[in-house]
Structure 1
């Protein structure tokens, strides 16, 4: 069953720039869906369309509809979307550097009136992210990049979402931390039954955990399917997975491979 559905959505910034051009995306209940593509393709705009964060950036949906649990959410403001079960981890972590990890987690619980429930949620987060328990009294601004990313995800999970959207969770992390973060994303999806919509430029890591994926170029979906199908596609391999064959650029005067999805 579909949890989140975008149908033929267009997004315009400043009433001029068309950033998203008729995108349709489906996230099933308990699904893990990846959005792949280069910088500026429109991936982050898709997430902001769902979470309701377009308006501060002078963006607006000019066409199409977005439904969550079968309900049209475009007219609902961002805080209400959180209460309905949508949470968005922005690119760059955005933790409160002057607060401790525990205080960061508490800051996300304004919707919960039961203090015992908040304490239980915090314990669950510290069990999921043991490093945060060890650094619970440190200022978040002094945590490592990986620890801050864990804190951002844990803070989002404090809202008990049905869908968590992650924007470039591996950005700026060492390879061993990337593996750890993606293992956590897989556990969130399988153990806590939270659907995940993942924006990621590290296509290899994203396709390792995702069930399905969409490839976005210039604001349009140019390919979608299971992770296995996209991983096996030679154009995806050449453009995003390091290539499948070496090209002798000295043997040709001009080399330009036309991507099949643009043919």
Structure 2
């Protein structure tokens, strides 16, 4: 059974604008899955649909179902979904800049267990991100962009998630930092068995660490498969990986016609 499953989900904003149109995807227990696509493809909306954050933006599911651990999570609010083991790291980090990393981690800790458990989780987070430990008493607003992204992920780990969803973690970061953070995400997946659903425009970086990927365009899933299969696909190479070499313009025109039809 899949840990997370979306079945033919359709989402509209203001009851008019269709943001995603019949999206279906699965995330298996312990898997790393990417959702790829350009700006406006529906990637972030898909994550907000799963975490329950559509309502503040006047969005709603019009049809379809989202299940987590075999349960329909439609009736559950965002805090309830977090308690079930589902956590969402939003685009833009959204840390508490006036608090220290220590205080950010404490704010995220649900407090359902003994105080010693908080200490264990904090130590584990700092083990993944040692540079945060060095700056644990510095106000988070003074951290670099890469350190703030590390803090956002570390804060999510304080909830002991079964599935962590990351929205554009590479945004605004230098390639060397992207490589470091993605390597840590992979380590978290391998050592803790935490499933990962990663939304990224940096398709090359995402496909290097995930097992499976979905390609969204205009709210539709237009392609899915193993990361290796997508890397080898000529359409993906041409439009998302910056593939060089001679262009087959017949295939490019066919692909563009398909994109217009989907729109």
TM norm structure 1:
0.95
**Structure 1 residue 126 displacement after superposition:** 0.7
- CA separation in 2, counterparts of 1:44 and 1:228? 24
Instruction: Look up the SS of the partner of 1:257 in the other structure.
Output: helix
Measured after TM superposition, the shift of residue 154 of structure 1 is 0.3
Would you say the 8 A contact 1:112–1:118 is kept in 2?
A: no
1:130 aligns with 2:126: no
Q: Is residue 139 from structure 1 mapped to residue 135 from structure 2 by the alignment?
A: no
Structure 2 match to 1:220: 220
Query: Post-superposition shift, 1:64?
Result: 0.3
Look up the match of 1:262: 258
Distance 1:257 1:208 in 2: 28
Q: Deviations over 1:51-75 (max 9, x none)?
A: 0000000000010000000000011
Deviations 1:230-258 (A, max 9, x none): 0000000000001232459xxx9xx9633
Alignment of 1:1-263 (within 5 A): 1-247=1-247, 257-259=253-255, 262=258
* Structure 2: stretches of 5+ with no match in the other structure: none
- Cα distance change of structure 1 residues 256 and 3 upon mapping to structure 2, 3 Å threshold: closer
- Please give the alpha-carbon distance, in whole angstroms, between the structure 2 residues aligned to 1:186 and 1:54: 28
Which structure 1 residue ranges, 5 or more long, are not aligned? none
Native 8 Å contact 1:27 1:197 kept in 2 = yes
SS in 1 for 2:223: strand
Pick closer, same or farther for the CA change 1:170–1:218 going to 2, 3 Å: same
Q: CA RMSD in A?
A: 1.8
State the 4+ residue runs in structure 1 displaced beyond 6 angstroms: none
How far off its partner does 1:260 sit? 7.8
Q: Secondary structure at the match of 2:110?
A: coil
CA distance in 2, matches of 1:258, 1:140: 48
8 Å CA contact 1:94–1:152 kept in 2: the answer is yes
Deviation at 1:261, TM superposition (A): 8.9
* Cα pair 1:30 1:193 within 8 Å, conserved: yes
**2:203, 2:118 → 1: CA distance?**
35
Distance 2:124 2:198 in 1: 22
Could you report, residue by residue, the CA deviation over 1:167-226 in whole angstroms, capped at 9, with x for unpaired residues?
000000011000001101101111110000000000000000010000000000000000
The DSSP-based 3-state class of the residue aligned with 2:254 is: coil
Contact 1:101/1:139 (<8 A) preserved: yes
C-alpha distance after superposition, 1:49-107 (max 9, x if no partner): 00000000000001000000000001100000000000000000011000000000000
User: Across the two proteins, how many residue pairs are aligned to each other?
Assistant: 259
Give the superposition deviation at 1:111. Answer: 4.0
